[in-house]
Each structure stands twice: as C-alpha cells, then as structure tokens.
Amino acid sequence: MFNLIGALISGLVVGALARFFYPGDVEMGWGMTLLLGIGGSLLAGFATTRGSEGFNRAGCLASVVGAVLLIFIGRMLGWHF
C-alpha cells in the first residue's frame, strides 16, 4: 500500500519537474502529469537500475530525463496532451 502511495507521489513530482524543464509550453492536467512521471520513472528504471533497490539521486535525475523524453516522443508522434 505504501509503495503505491510513494509511486503516485514520486510520479507527480517527476512529472511536474519534467514539465518544468521541457522547453516550451506543455499543457496537460495533473492526471497526465502523474502518468507522465510514472512512465518516465519506469522508463528510467528499466534502463538504469539493473536490479538495485533503494533511493538514489541518479535514478531521480534519470526519471526526469525519461519523462522529458516521453514528452518529446509524444510531441513527435503528434499527440496533444
């Protein structure tokens, strides 16, 4: 239960940071921001962790970069958030 709550809170923070750092205007609601942050965290987690557990700063940075990458890919495919 606490893992789910932690994932939602961290997803919201990561998504908000990705929207902040992405150049240009990213108009989306809080729900899409949450999904974007969780997706970026999953993308970065698959690419970087290789089985390690726990909190690390590099993983947080990679999560934000992964979420920014998801915004970029979505814009290239013509999706409007």
Handedness of CA 48, 53, 55, 56 (dihedral sign): negative
Collapsed DSSP state (helix, strand, coil) of residue 64: helix
Integer-rounded Cα radius of gyration of the chain: 12
pLDDT for residue 53: 66
The model's pLDDT over 61-74, given as tens digits with 9 standing for 90+, comes to 888 888 888 888 88
Instruction: Give the number of C-alpha atoms closer than 13 A to the C-alpha of residue 76, restricted to the C-beta side.
Output: 6
Residues contacting 46, CB < 8 A, separation 6+: none
Q: What is the pTM of this model?
A: 0.77
Give dist(CA 20, CA 47) in Å, integer: 23
The model's pLDDT over 27-79, given as tens digits with 9 standing for 90+, comes to 888 888 888 888 887 777 777 766 666 666 777 788 888 888 888 888 888 87
